[in-house]
């Protein structure tokens, strides 16, 4: 009997890649998504890749009544992977209430329903932004979380606390928070990838859209950071490597291999690259020259961060394996396919 997994935000960028990996491992998947930053067409492409179409429900998780109705009619769900959230750092600085309402209320409603309908396991999509600007690098899971640099980061930090406190209060519940570093790239089929609605808030889709001629130039935010080339440093991980870690986390919860009822893991490559290195790396991987301009720093951004992934590597038996060049090329192949560029 295949185990049934609910994936919230499952038509989104990381969600869709995770649904593919779950189906590949013979899980039955159900998606809830409000399509605020994704398209229903993603379901067709998941089906093309896997041969299976996930069940899909379109509504907003902040709507408790709809969520209750969903759980009443969809029984047998064994675990939840919770991606659904507003996710742009810059936008969160401008619209903090949108972020607090969407991101906190959706998790609170989900956990309420978990308790009511007996769904014991949840894997939460967290972020390395909970570390703020760390005092020492790389960051481990024991690195102290700092005051958030943006409302988005704060919602991830508060949601971790909501999940941890809920697990401590209810002995039936167990959860894993996965703290991602920077997911980039696309599925090797070029059928799914990162397709933000409107102006991209993340670096790589902005790069690929500029390479495709949709954007005039890339803005590099800041060249006066304390880094080798002055631009900010991040740990960039291929989205498929990241997706596979969610499958491992779910298996860990469902087979009771977790060491405690609430666990945290860093998901990254363990190596930091600067924004300018990514720009140059893209040019090298694809042979496409990019038009970029260095501008002032962006509100909410931190200077540098990368992961110590040894705990996740050891405990989960998982490791990011895709090279930066291959990852950037996959992002370009995806962009070319959706823009019909030969």
Catalytically active residues are 152
Which three-class secondary structure state does DSSP give residue 322? Answer: coil
Partners of 236 in beta bridges: 182
Q: Do the beta carbons of residue 158 and residue 177 sit within 8 Å?
A: no
Cβ atoms of 84 and 106 closer than 8 Å: yes
Pairing of strands 233-234, 273-274: antiparallel
Please report the DSSP string for 198-241 in residue order. SS--SHHHHHHHHHTTSSS-EEEE-S-SSSTTSS-EE-EEEHHH
Q: Measured between alpha carbons, how far is 9 from 164 in angstroms, rounded to an integer?
A: 21
Phi and psi at 262, nearest 5°, equal -130, 125
Please give the biggest Cα pair distance in the chain.
Answer: 56
As a whole number of angstroms, the distance between CA 92 and CA 205 comes to 19
Name the phi and psi angles at 81, rounded to 5. Answer: -110, 120
Q: What would the two tokens of residue 149 be? A: 């640099």
Query: At CA 195, angle to CA 192 and CA 201, rounded to 5?
Result: 140
């Amino acid at each position: 009997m295949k185990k049934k997994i609910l994936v919230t935000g499952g038509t989104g960028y990381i969600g869709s890649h995770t649904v593919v990996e779950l189906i590949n491992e013979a899980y039955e998947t159900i998606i809830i998504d409000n399509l605020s930053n994704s398209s229903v067409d993603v379901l067709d492409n998941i089906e093309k890749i896997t041969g299976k179409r996930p069940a899909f429900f379109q509504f907003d998780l902040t709507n408790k009544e709809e969520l209750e109705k969903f759980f009443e009619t969809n029984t047998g769900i064994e675990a939840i992977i919770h991606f659904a959230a507003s996710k742009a750092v810059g936008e969160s600085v401008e619209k903090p209430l949108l972020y607090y309402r969407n991101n906190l209320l959706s998790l609170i409603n989900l956990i309420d329903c978990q308790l009511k309908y007996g769904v014991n396991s949840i894997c939460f999509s967290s972020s390395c932004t909970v570390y703020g600007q760390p005092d020492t690098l790389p960051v481990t899971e024991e690195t102290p979380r700092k005051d958030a640099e943006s409302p988005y980061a704060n919602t991830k930090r508060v949601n971790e606390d909501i999940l941890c406190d809920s697990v401590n209060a209810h002995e039936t519940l167990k959860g894993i928070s996965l703290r991602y570093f920077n997911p980039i790239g696309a599925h090797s089929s070029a059928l799914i990838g990162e397709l933000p609605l409107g102006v991209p808030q993340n670096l790589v889709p902005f790069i690929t859209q500029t390479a495709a001629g949709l954007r005039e130039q890339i803005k590099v935010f800041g060249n006066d950071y304390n880094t080798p080339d002055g631009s900010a440093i991040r740990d960039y991980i291929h989205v498929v490597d990241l997706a596979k870690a969610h499958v491992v986390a779910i298996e860990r919860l469902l087979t009771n291999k977790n060491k405690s009822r609430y666990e945290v893991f860093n998901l990254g490559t363990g190596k930091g690259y600067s924004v300018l290195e990514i720009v140059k790396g893209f040019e090298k991987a694809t042979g496409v020259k990019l038009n970029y301009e260095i501008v002032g720093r962006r509100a909410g951004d931190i200077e540098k961060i990368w992961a110590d992934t040894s705990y996740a590597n050891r405990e989960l038996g998982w490791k990011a394996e895709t090279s930066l060049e291959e990852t950037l090329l996959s992002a370009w192949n995806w962009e070319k396919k959706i823009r019909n560029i030969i």
